[in-house]
Chain A
Amino acid sequence: MSDFEVLDISGDVGIKAVGPSLQEAFINASLGMYSLITNLDAVQERKEIDLSIESDSPEGLLVSWLNELIFYFDAYGFIGKKISIKKFSEKEIEAVVRGEEFDPERHEGKLLIKAATYHRLQISSVDDSWEINVIFDI
């Protein structure tokens, strides 16, 4: 599979993301989520935002992180294309997200994501491969 794929569930939609590390799987889950909102090929790196999130579990960290990205899109139209992680642990993430402001003229509007949820949320690893399953409320 590629770095992420769309999970098909009735009513809403999810992302299954993989990576050689938890950090990479986080990035792929984030890009997977952005790709549900618009086609990322049309997004350029014109602007950047610095984010830092803490939580007490990897699951909590993932949900809070994705909800932070959703917030920046919903409040400011910011859509990311590239994520550079500065600091990462199972309970903390600091990153720079590069992208631009959504422009309905240039960017296709796909799904409006309300939130990332704990519904059937899974973070797992086998050998050197990490997998994330996360479902969004649409």
Chain B
Amino acid sequence: MTLETLRRIDDTKIEVPVSYKNGMRVNGIIYIDEILEKELEAQSIDQVANVATLPGIVKSSMAMPDIHTGYGFAIGGVAAFDLKEGIVSPGGVGYDINCGVRLLKSNLEKDDVLSRMRDIVSILYADIPSGVGSKGKIRLGPEDEKRLLLKGAKWAVEQGFGQPEDLEKIESGGCIDGADPSLISKKAYERGRAQQGTLGSGNHFLEVQYVDEIYDDKAAQGLGLFQNQVTVMIHTGSRGFGHQVCTDFLEVMERAVSKYKITLPDKELACAPYESPEAQDYLSAMRAAANYAWANRQCIMHWAREAFMRVFAVPLGKLGMALIYDVAHNIAKIEEHNVNGERRKLIVHRKGATRAFPPGHPELPGIYRAFGQPVLIPGDMGRASFVLLGTEKAMRETFGSTCHGAGRVMSRHQAIKKAKGRAIGRELEDRGIIVRSAGRETLAEEMSDAYKDISNVVDVVHRAGISKKVARLRPLGVIKG
């Protein structure tokens, strides 16, 4: 099959027709414009088509404009399955379970922090463990770890990391029900023991930013955002704990595929029927990992607040560092959606995609119910990040989902080669961005040139109406692993 078989539906989406590949039960829809389509990898289109062959898939196999090739499922993929006929697949969530983003606001303005950025970045870098082989400051005993897996961010608040009012501004309240610590392997416990409260490496980061453009005054006001305001963004997930849960259950699912006689076009799509014990066990373990990630972002946020309190020598209340929101972008959840006029419970897989619920949705906290769910889209360290809101159209078209980030265009190796002879840290500094990174090669691998331009990605979801732009945030200081 060739790319010519794809059909452009409108300027923001293309269809992968059922005729694209044998066995497709539904079509594929990729939200992408003509600019980003030029960078669309043939393999990722194939992955969208492969997901469309899975049992019980509902409506369409979808992908967001930040699509790129993943394992089994494309990154940027959204797929919902029927609870009777459908399946659950760890590959539809990814290794970094509940990798996600949170955003903190403050009373500070850009000019208040510019002269202190070097101090702020140094303290953040010293206080927040990051990088390959780093250990966290928290050591979890077996009982602590179990409580953490059941309670998520609530556990962190109970330990003194942050405040109870943070919790309502986290997707699922920072604690998803149905986690079962007894289904977690000894290996996952061992990997998770010293990694709570650590940033990790790769594309994970903590960023001090400022609001440099507001697209929707009323919505920005509703979220408490204003021009030049300082914000802090945290992007990390469930660390080695979640990676091990995924590794463990890929093995379980591989056996389940032959047990339940599921035909797969790609081994990495290993899955089990939703009602099977294998799928239920995976979901219970995945929820434990999701809770681990919410606790992780909560702890890191607490230390970020403390760092600001030290630099400005004022109490937290004066800094106004309240949480705006926290979203997951690698997760599978049971949600209710309208499908052809019928209300159905589905298991929605989002892998590199963000939930984007509309105004009035009962899962939103009261303060945001009039506006819609805040959607946080991290960009690369040199360009920008965005705050969007979920919409009714997303609910109708994409199971209430939107994009999650920029998506790579260059391999790590290519990026390192391209950065040769350049001092990326200095280049960023010349543009007013102070960066500290544990890894020598991380800055090269993660440089802006290695990523799609986040503005293009966000423009597509905005124009498609599956979320709407509220504000753009520019980096001032970045901590990388």
A residues whose Cβ falls under 8 Å from a Cβ of B? 6, 8-13, 37-38, 60, 64, 67, 71, 73-77, 102-104, 107-112, 114-115, 117-119, 137-138
Contact = CB atoms under 8 A, between A and B. Distances in A.
Interface string B125-160: 000000111110000000000000000000000000
A73 B134 CA distance: 11
B95 A115 contact: yes
Contact of A104 (B409, B410, B438): B438
Most buried by B among A71, A73, A108: A71
B131 A109 contact: yes
B389 to A, nearest CB: 28
A114 to B, nearest CB: 4
Contacts of B240: 74-75, 114
Nearest to A121: B267
Contact of B413 (A13, A115, A117): A13
B439 to A, nearest CB: 5
A121 B254 CA distance: 15
Given A6-B413, A108-B440, A114-B95, A67 B134 contact: no
A110 B268 contact: no
B243 A74 contact: yes
B345 interface: no
A43 to B, nearest CB: 12
A11 B191 contact: no
A5 to B, nearest CB: 11
Given A75-B190, A114-B243, A11 B69 contact: yes
Given A10-B409, A67-B247, A137-B95, A112 B441 contact: no
Contacts of A6: 413
B243 A10 contact: no
A138 B244 CA distance: 13
Interface string B431-457: 000000011110000000000000000
Given A74-B243, A75-B190, A137 B440 contact: no
B104 to A, nearest CB: 25
Given A104-B134, A111-B132, A111-B202, A71 B244 contact: yes
A112 B411 contact: no
Nearest to A6: B413
B247 A11 contact: no
Nearest to A59: B267
B268 A117 contact: yes
A117 B133 contact: no
Contact of B132 (A38, A71, A137): A38
Contact of A13 (B194, B247, B411): B411
Interface in B93-128: 95-96
Interface string B245-267: 01100010010000000000001
Contacts of A75: 187, 190-191, 193-194, 240
Contacts of B440: 108-110
A114 B411 contact: no
B305 interface: no
B243 A115 contact: yes
A11 B187 contact: no
B75 interface: yes
B131 A138 contact: no
B408 A11 contact: yes
Interface in B407-424: 408-414
Nearest first, the 4 closest Cβ-Cβ pairs linking A and B are A109-B132, A112-B201, A102-B133, A114-B243
Nearest to B270: A118
B438 A114 contact: no
Given A74-B244, A138-B202, 11 more contacts: A8-B411, A8-B413, A9-B411, A64-B251, A75-B190, A77-B133, A102-B133, A110-B441, A114-B96, A117-B71, A118-B71
Contact of A109 (B190, B251, B411, B439): B439
B335 interface: no
B250 to A, nearest CB: 8
Given A8-B414, A10-B409, A11-B408, A112 B481 contact: yes
B68 interface: yes
A116 to B, nearest CB: 8
B200 interface: yes
A38 B134 CA distance: 13
Contact of B411 (A11, A115, A117, A137): A11
B24 to A, nearest CB: 21
B213 interface: no
B41 interface: yes
Nearest to A116: B247
5 contacts: A37-B132, A77-B135, A102-B133, A104-B133, A138-B412
Contacts of B134: 104, 109
Given A10-B411, A109-B132, A115 B200 contact: no
- Max chain B Cβ within 10 angstroms of own Cβ: one of A12, A71, A74, A107: A74
A16 to B, nearest CB: 13
B66 to A, nearest CB: 11
Given A10-B409, A10-B410, A74-B243, A119 B268 contact: yes
